Structure 1
């Protein structure tokens, strides 16, 4: 059995699976909102509260892992553990609990995301644009089949954007509207830096993975009063959500259909980041991919176990 642990800037995830003859069966999935990247923009460090939340989550994961005969386990850390000044202290505490964590660069993270997304798609050579908005960074890949044609890791995510733009929320509609517009414009400015390069590799389909995309896809589906056969987000539907997004702040009792309470604080920054990306890169529609980094980790972990190599070595050899 295989276990993949994804220590993200917003959530920690654990995936346990059986791999057999090139395919896998998911046995368990665990996810906990740790927000390891909380306050990182301002202080440059994992805060004491986030530090303890992360360690507590690892204790929960250890209990889950103990229930299964795990043969191969891989733990990966992403943006918060790449950038925090006290990341090594966290990694050392994790090692004492039995978790050896590979902190991967953004481009390795992008490769894992791409492998995860295409694992759930037809085996063909259709060119696809993949975006994964995390808590502290956003990964972009254009690829065809197993081939990544270009990859990018951008220093923007839903937690960092929340802390930067929405830590003190305006209470007037006009001021909040301006704040959202400013945050979306700043997001577009970041993605404009790669828009030209992305355009040199045309794609036929676009997919978005992970929590922000899942959240906005669900809200758009409810808003349109239709369950789409391919869940996703159009730029038009996203921009039409602006008033509803602001109501989550201006009217505390307002419940936005499709939005889970645990994601409520991330609806504004998530909206701004995705809106900025789609505007800057002229993406009119995205499909949501339920497969993401964890499934990509599983793909490389399975190959590594067969070859007797480390999953990072296998990943970087391709």
Structure 2
């Protein structure tokens, strides 16, 4: 395992021993991981905070087998060690990475295939806010829903991390994005970020608004993180040969639909989760993102919307803020050097 400098044996991390409220997120000491075969060890600069982290804290989303118990699904950092099969030339380079856990810490080991080089156009905080939403939106919108230039997409939670990434990618790839948001202020921000239309779901019926916006035609794709009774309403928003992609169930894990509508419109209902997928699959996604998306990142045309930054020791405050729902874009933790 090539090293640039001797590594410490212990590190600071957030690794709660029990489920509960944000107060369980306290700094503890844990052993510094050592990179295995095909892995690189990153000295973490920043880590994104995401809804799955909250679900894990509550005991509702345990890490997949073999993943660290430490939360955190995306990081930016400097490579300080390389495992077997990884060229030592990576040491000293800045990367952002999708991880299956372990991001809320000073060091994390990650398969090199899940790492993306941080270009000068991005700050390390911005880089940490990219991987989880970028991998998720890319795999579900562009691969599972095979969206094409000129199509119309409806995304719920338009000012969330997923929502803002959908809007940003839609702008780059010629999509018309309709976003739903929980206030007029958030609707205005979604438009500012690049949505073609924004619907306040608290004061408007998004099904009727979509019909009006599309002149009765409907949208080609719905990217849904709500589930529950939204499923049937989303189907009403879809046009013929439309695709519905489920990526979370914040509003409920069960929904009732009229099957004849699926048949009549020739709809595709699909969905996926990312965290438990293999390193090989995530490497394939990273390769595709490197080819198709990263040139836009390198020229400064794609950067995440970062709402607020907290130090690692204030992870509890970061979770409270995210749960409060006032954020627009991503919340990020920074790790002291």
TM-score, length-scaled by structure 1: 0.32
TM-score, length-scaled by structure 2: 0.31
Larger Rg: 2
